[in-house]
């Protein structure tokens, strides 16, 4: 007689710190479901979309907050509202196109309608037909609106949360990392385009990857070869006070003939062995010599500046071992044609087939594949010790990754 399989042991975190991470966090469906409840529907701010994508009243965009489908709309007053993209009647998705223009929300299933504030305004056959059927007198139409999210905007970025306990966004991020967003988003934004890719791994592996600052000069050969990121370049790691959010940045030394670093870095054919070196040109529009700035807002947003390639990356969980990564490529509203062309060229460095980030699309799958073989094993993160602290002048540290896991544990209560 075959013995029944032993029940899986309850999940516990090994040790007191976050320098070791159980592989099980990437492979356990119960942990994935717990994340949806306690992290994504908990006290966190999650990026939804951009103000620049919703320019007129009635403009909407569909997006995700964890597993939850969300619709964001600009109302008649110009304010931004976000709702669970779900009809209050049978739960059908209301807006099934990625973006569009509406005067009201209308469910195709049974034609319930809602205004742009989410209020239920119409129920088909409410009074029945020919005096028969319809809803009963106890039905309270005002009690069946769309489920709203709290919304805050910052520098043209729109964030949402399900929780009343989430602190204001500026407090959530902290003053030093708010200043880092201010450094990059210096003017109103415009959208230049989108990339989307499916990663064969748990969402947290890509979240970690962005906080792992020292792999850039090892995995990404282009970085090292062409001087976007090298271990001996200036820069460092900044962390929020709670360790949840981070910034990794790299900067060049100022050119000898320009100690202020305020002129354009041009004529790079004598520095790089590229058929077309213009892809590496860098207009120093932000007032410094930073070549690479990767900032994360816990849990799923990345704000990117690589040379003049500006973008936001949204991490969307799609299951225990599947993640969608949505890139929104950005410029500023007042960019001229030459500047737009420079940004688009630089964006060849990143994205699903980018000279740099192509490798990031597969390494998470390598980890996922191996992690599934031994859920009792653990990763080891000794770089920079066990502390969660900033690092000036060096990016050879895993402090920001440890900070991610600190936030994850605090949100999940594990």
> Digits of tens for pLDDT over the chain (414 positions)?
444 444 467 888 988 889 999 999 999 999 999 999 999 999 999 999 999 999 999 999 999 999 999 999 999 999 999 999 999 999 999 999 999 999 999 999 999 999 999 999 999 998 888 888 888 889 999 999 999 999 999 999 999 999 999 999 999 999 999 999 999 999 999 999 999 999 999 999 999 999 987 665 655 556 566 656 666 677 889 999 999 999 999 887 654 555 444 444 444 445 556 677 777 888 999 999 998 899 999 999 999 999 999 999 999 999 999 999 999 999 999 999 999 999 999 998 887 877 776 677 778 788 899 998 887 899 988 888 888 998 887 777 899 999 999 999 999 999
Give the position of tokens 């792999």. 215
φ, ψ of residue 199 to 5 degrees: the values are: -100, 135
Q: Which CATH class is domain 175-412?
A: alpha beta
How many CA atoms are closer than 13 Å to the CA of 343, on its beta-carbon side? 23
Give the position of tokens 């043209």. 156
Q: Which of 310, 285, 284, 283 is nearest to 295 (CA)?
A: 310
Decide: helix, strand or coil at residue 347. Answer: helix
Decide: helix, strand or coil at residue 323. Answer: strand
Cis peptide, bond prior to residue 299, ω within 30 of zero? yes
Going through 2-79 in order, the beta strands assigned E by DSSP cover 20-22, 46-50, 59-65, 68-74
H-helix or E-strand spanning residue 295: strand 290-297
* Other residues' Cβ atoms within 10 Å of the Cβ of residue 227: 16
CA dist 366 and 369 (Å) reads 5
Kindly write down the DSSP assignment for every residue of 216-252, as one continuous string: HHHH-HHHHHHTSS-TTSEEEEEE-TTSS-EEEEEEP
Predicted local confidence at residue 267, as pLDDT: 43
Q: pLDDT of 249-271, one tens digit each?
A: 988 765 455 544 444 444 444 55
CA dist 403 and 414 (Å) reads 15
216 alpha carbon, distance to own chain's centre = 19
Q: Which of 114, 106, 110 is nearest to 90 (CA)?
A: 110
The answer to whether 300 touches 207, Cβ cutoff 8 Å, is: yes
The answer to whether 268 touches 317, Cβ cutoff 8 Å, is: no
CA dist 187 and 174 (Å) reads 21
CA dist 200 and 361 (Å) reads 8
Query: How is residue 18 written in tokens?
Result: 């976050």
DSSP character at residue 148: B
- CA dist list (Å): 403 to 245, 330, 407: 7, 28, 6
The domain at 46-152 falls in which architecture? 3-layer Sandwich (2.102)
- CA dist list (Å): 156 to 131, 204, 260, 393: 51, 26, 30, 31
* Domain ranges across the chain: 46-152, 175-412
């Amino acid at each position: 007689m075959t013995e029944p399989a032993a029940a899986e042991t309850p999940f516990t975190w090994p040790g007191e710190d976050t320098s070791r991470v159980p592989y099980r966090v990437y492979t356990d469906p119960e942990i994935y479901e717990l994340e949806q409840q306690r992290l994504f529907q908990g006290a966190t701010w999650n990026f939804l979309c951009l103000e620049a994508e919703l320019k007129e009243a009635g403009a909407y965009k569909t997006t995700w907050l964890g597993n939850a489908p969300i619709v964001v709309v600009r109302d008649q007053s110009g304010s931004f509202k976000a709702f669970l993209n779900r009809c209050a009647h049978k739960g059908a998705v209301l807006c099934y196109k990625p973006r569009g223009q509406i005067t009201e929300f209308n469910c195709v299933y049974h034609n319930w309608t809602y205004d742009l504030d989410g209020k239920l305004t119409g129920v088909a056959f409410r009074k029945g037909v020919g005096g028969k059927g319809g809803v009963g007198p106890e039905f309270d139409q005002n009690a069946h609106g769309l489920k709203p999210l709290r919304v805050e905007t910052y520098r043209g970025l729109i964030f949402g949360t399900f929780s009343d306990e989430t602190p204001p966004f500026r407090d959530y991020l902290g003053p030093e990392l708010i200043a880092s967003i201010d450094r990059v988003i210096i003017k109103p934004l415009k959208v230049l385009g989108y990339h989307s890719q499916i990663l064969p791994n748990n969402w947290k592996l890509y979240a970690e990857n962005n906080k792992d600052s020292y792999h850039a000069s090892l995995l990404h050969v282009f970085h090292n070869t062409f001087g976007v990121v090298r271990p001996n370049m200036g820069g460092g790691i900044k962390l929020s006070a709670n360790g949840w959010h981070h910034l990794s940045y790299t900067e060049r030394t100022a050119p000898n003939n320009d100690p202020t670093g305020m002129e354009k870095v041009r004529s790079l054919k004598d520095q790089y062995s590229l058929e077309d070196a213009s892809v590496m040109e860098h207009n120093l529009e932000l007032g410094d010599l930073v070549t690479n700035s990767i900032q994360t807002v816990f849990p799923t947003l990345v704000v990117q500046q690589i040379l003049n390639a500006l973008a936001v990356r949204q991490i969307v969980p799609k299951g225990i071992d599947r993640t969608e990564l949505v890139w929104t490529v950005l410029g500023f509203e007042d960019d001229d044609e030459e500047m737009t062309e420079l940004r688009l060229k630089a964006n060849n460095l990143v994205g699903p087939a980018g000279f740099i980030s192509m490798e990031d699309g597969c390494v998470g799958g390598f980890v996922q594949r191996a992690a599934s073989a031994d859920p009792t094993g653990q990763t080891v993160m000794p770089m920079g010790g066990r502390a969660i602290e900033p690092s000036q002048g060096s990016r050879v540290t895993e402090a920001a990754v440890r900070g991610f896991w600190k936030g994850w544990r605090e949100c999940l209560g594990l």
